[in-house]
Structure 1
Amino acid sequence: MDNKAIILLGGPAKGTRFRPLSLHKPKPIFPIGGVPLIYHTIESLSKVPNMKEIILLGCFTDLNEIEKFIYMCEEKFKINIKYLKENEIMGSAGGIFKYKKDILLGKVDNFFVINGDVLGDMPFKEMLKFHDNFCNQEQYIIMGKYNDPSQSFNYGCISYDEKTKEILHFVEKPLEFSSNVISCGAYLFTSTIFDHLQSALTNSLKTGNELINTRNDSQNFNNHTLDMNESNASSETGDNISCIKTPSHFPYKSVKLSFELDIFPELAGKSGHLFGYILPQNTPWMQIKSSSSAIYADQMILNLYTKNHPELLAINSKSTCTVIGNVFIHPTASVHNTSVLGPDVSICAGAIIGPGARISHSIICDNVHIQDHAFVTCSIIGWNSIVGRWTRIEGTDCRDDISIHSLFSPQGKLNPSVTIIANDVDVHSELVVFNAIVLPNKELKECTQNQIVL
């Protein structure tokens, strides 16, 4: 049995809540635990038996960083990785539908679809085994987990039969309480799912919804699938990285199709099509929505390193800095032996941590310079930024309500949250920056609190 996986990256228009960090690099490759966010998903997928290819599907146009990332992952995991480009946001199922032929190329038996902004201890290998043991080619799997009922309104909610595991009801972000079992944004399909996508498309065309057919004929989409040998499927980025253009013969001008809104609600409770692979109660998992949520994702991944990759965590020794708890230090970072790091700190490539610096609960991105005796906590310091001597940068821990945390209060004031310093910011010495968001390429010469520095 051959398997594939598709990771949905979205695009610049979908990462607005992750700004200002996504202004410099795409959200899917923001460093979590010292490596790009989707690296963790690819690593888990690489352990699935007979995983032949991983497809990154999105509408990013500046592919320089994505190209580098793909090359690094192909070298690391010895698996083919390809980027397929959408010309616009098409929903979680629209791009899958458009690139049907490419996904099924090579007699694929099963394929995973995973949202690019979720991560955790996600057992894809066990999910596939569950499908092989209990499901047939007409049945599909949604990975789910139990969640705080007060936060379930922010996710797809699943009602399922605990004995048969069949999903009886699915609703995306319900207005009223539906279930405390939520979708983890990871699905397992067979080729027959495309019949349901075609049906949903046909129904939408009949009702004049978001899907617009630009042809006068009634040919089925199966006759218009992507031909990889045609000139219009040429590479945009060179021979090493596969980046496929939209096929010119794709019969629909605009396709917006969602598994969560158009497919799952229709399949749930009907003819045994949809089943739930429900994770144990305390399984680490989260969705990265806002820039501040990256802090808590980083802490989760560092904690997972204690089990999966203890070799990546820094340890105390006479020749190194003082380490408290879980700390990742990139091999190319320079950390003074009088500094104190932790708990829950990631120091990325090329960063410089000066004498006496104290950092906790923070992400320090590439080529950041934290100068002598600076103090950083509950903060993200963006690429190439400088934190001056004796400067204090501090945010507020709001992890208990991170999924529902609003940036602004009803009065229009900035709510207490993680402090975000974007890329190429120079924070002068002997300042205090508290609960602030600083946009890129700024020079901060005075203290700031509860403000967005534009």
Structure 2
Amino acid sequence: MLKAVILIGGPQKGTRFRPLSFEVPKPLFPVAGVPMIQHHIEACAQVPGMQEILLIGFYQPDEALTRFLDAAQQEFNLPIRYLQEFAPLGTGGGLYHFRDQILAGGPEAFFVLNADVCSDFPLGAMLEAHRRQPRPFLLLGTTANRTQSLNYGCIVENPETHEVLHYVEKPSTFVSDIINCGIYLFSPEALKPLRDVFQRNQQDQQLDGSSGSWPGAGTIRLEQDVFTALSGQGQIYVHLTDGIWSQIKSAGSALYASRLYLSRYQLTHPERLAQLIPGGPCIRGNVFIHPTAKVASSAVLGPNVSIGEGVTIGEGVRLRESIVLHGATLQEHTCVLHSIVGWGSTVGRWARVEGTPNDPNPNDPRARMDSESLFRDGKLLPAITILGCRVRIPAEVLILNSIVLPHKELSRSFTNQIIL
């Protein structure tokens, strides 16, 4: 018997995801046509012996989250529950706080997945590795180039046994090109080191004279408090993958993750990819079109396009490397490139909405998405263009490398601006 835990965080996180996270919790943002965490749930549901999937975070259980959980339970025929933290407890605090629910029924092991990662989720291979060599902690690792590895948790392994000898979270100098993917398989014994951290935090608070034990003592960081401390003690091992993987920290990385998932649909969900049919729009490459969307036959879509529920695409529209969200309208002959068009937004006739991608170097197989900063030297850096919810773009204007906050009605062109 197995379980899975998906760590979804909460509303004070995801600031780099604004303005998109204003309208929907980040874990429910559509990536390649389905909510971000549905990719996680689909992977977990395919593991033989999976008994239950738990979501842990501190979002309020609003209508959108409740509706998603109800639909997911029906689709995958698995209990899927949301456990709400009373305060942000870090990547490990929620696991310890809800340890009784995780261990109920006596699971052999449980997966732990961060919600803000894109992956092909090689959970079956991780389970095989764990059963060959049972240890409390198994981390999924991949490689990054020397420069970009500094942005991640770095793992030094024994190449023969795959034991983690050293772990450093975001080091200041090069440590290793093996990085932590944020996907784990834990034995029930893995909760004992979390208990030790909790008890140590309690003692530290008492020595400091702090009042109460929560939430301070309950805040546990898996990476710094557990992995760093236990490395080299025969408790943590790494399973390396060369499959797809990326963090989803910003809108730009969501667009890149959408491309990765759309490509993977050719193997996993070919039915989700639009096909070129007589009298239909021109499809180039991998494109997802929601069944309720209305797309004119003269539109040219792709590659790497995701069109959401109730979207209207007019005649002659050109759409490439973009996400168009629920209820948006692209009027005749608009051109949308490297952009995200928000819920219910309208782009007028002959307008052009374009961004600048920040994709990994295609000539470097170890390259990852750079950690994106909006500004440098006080200037907005070129990046993908984001239209927030219910933005109206007039006809015949250019919106380039800009972020438009929700409910704005523009009257002219903008370049390299945040429009408040």
The question of 1:267 aligning with 2:233 is answered no
Q: Which amino acid aligns with 1:355?
A: E
- Equivalent positions of 1:221-370 (< 5 A) are 252-254=214-216, 255-270=218-233, 272-280=234-242, 283-370=243-330
Q: CA deviation at 1:291?
A: 1.5
CA distance in 2, matches of 1:114, 1:276: 15
Q: Which amino acid aligns with 2:182?
A: G
- RMSD in angstroms over aligned alpha carbons? 1.6
Aligned to 1:419: 385
- Equivalent positions of 1:197-212 (< 5 A) are 197-208=194-205
Q: CA deviation at 1:402?
A: 3.5
Q: Deviations over 1:81-125 (max 9, x none)?
A: 000001221100101111111111111221111101012111111
Contact 1:142 1:183 in 2 (8 A): yes
**3-state SS of the aligned residue for 2:184?**
strand
Aligned to 1:51: 50
Q: What stretches of structure 2 of length at least 5 have no aligned partner?
A: 361-367
**3-state SS of the aligned residue for 1:363?**
strand
CA distance in 2, matches of 1:211, 1:347: 54
CA distance in 2, matches of 1:210, 1:57: 30
Q: Deviations over 1:168-222 (max 9, x none)?
A: 001111111111100000111111112111111222233339999866xxxxxxx
Contact 2:352 2:398 in 1 (8 A): yes
Contact 1:211 1:256 in 2 (8 A): no
Contact 1:213 1:252 in 2 (8 A): no
Q: Deviations over 1:121-171 (max 9, x none)?
A: 1111111111011224xx320000111221111111100011101000011
Q: CA deviation at 1:21?
A: 0.3
Q: Deviations over 1:353-374 (max 9, x none)?
A: 0011110000000110000000
Mean Cα displacement is larger for which, 86-95 or 395-404?
Answer: 395-404
- Equivalent positions of 1:161-240 (< 5 A) are 161-208=158-205
CA distance in 2, matches of 1:285, 1:428: 38
**Residue of 328, 333, 344 corresponding to 1:384:** 344
Relative to 1, partners in 2 of residues 1:212 and 1:435: Cα closer, same or farther, differing over 3 Å? farther
Aligned to 2:156: 159
Q: Which amino acid aligns with 2:219?
A: K
**Residue of 364, 376, 384 corresponding to 1:409:** 376
CA distance in 2, matches of 1:210, 1:379: 52
**3-state SS of the aligned residue for 1:88?**
coil
- Equivalent positions of 1:112-131 (< 5 A) are 112-131=111-130
CA distance in 2, matches of 1:126, 1:408: 41
TM-score (normalizing by structure 2): 0.95
Relative to 1, partners in 2 of residues 1:371 and 1:50: Cα closer, same or farther, differing over 3 Å? same
CA distance in 2, matches of 1:83, 1:211: 34
Contact 2:252 2:357 in 1 (8 A): no
CA distance in 2, matches of 1:108, 1:416: 48
Relative to 1, partners in 2 of residues 1:74 and 1:21: Cα closer, same or farther, differing over 3 Å? same
CA distance in 1, matches of 2:372, 2:270: 32
CA distance in 2, matches of 1:390, 1:188: 51
Q: CA deviation at 1:439?
A: 0.3
Contact 2:355 2:382 in 1 (8 A): yes
Contact 1:424 1:442 in 2 (8 A): yes
Relative to 1, partners in 2 of residues 1:4 and 1:212: Cα closer, same or farther, differing over 3 Å? farther
CA distance in 2, matches of 1:307, 1:209: 55
CA distance in 2, matches of 1:14, 1:358: 34
Contact 1:205 1:211 in 2 (8 A): no
CA distance in 1, matches of 2:123, 2:209: 35
**Residue of 141, 145, 158 corresponding to 1:144:** 141
**3-state SS of the aligned residue for 1:292?**
helix
TM-score (normalizing by structure 1): 0.88
Q: Deviations over 1:47-96 (max 9, x none)?
A: 11111110111111152111111112111111110000012211001011
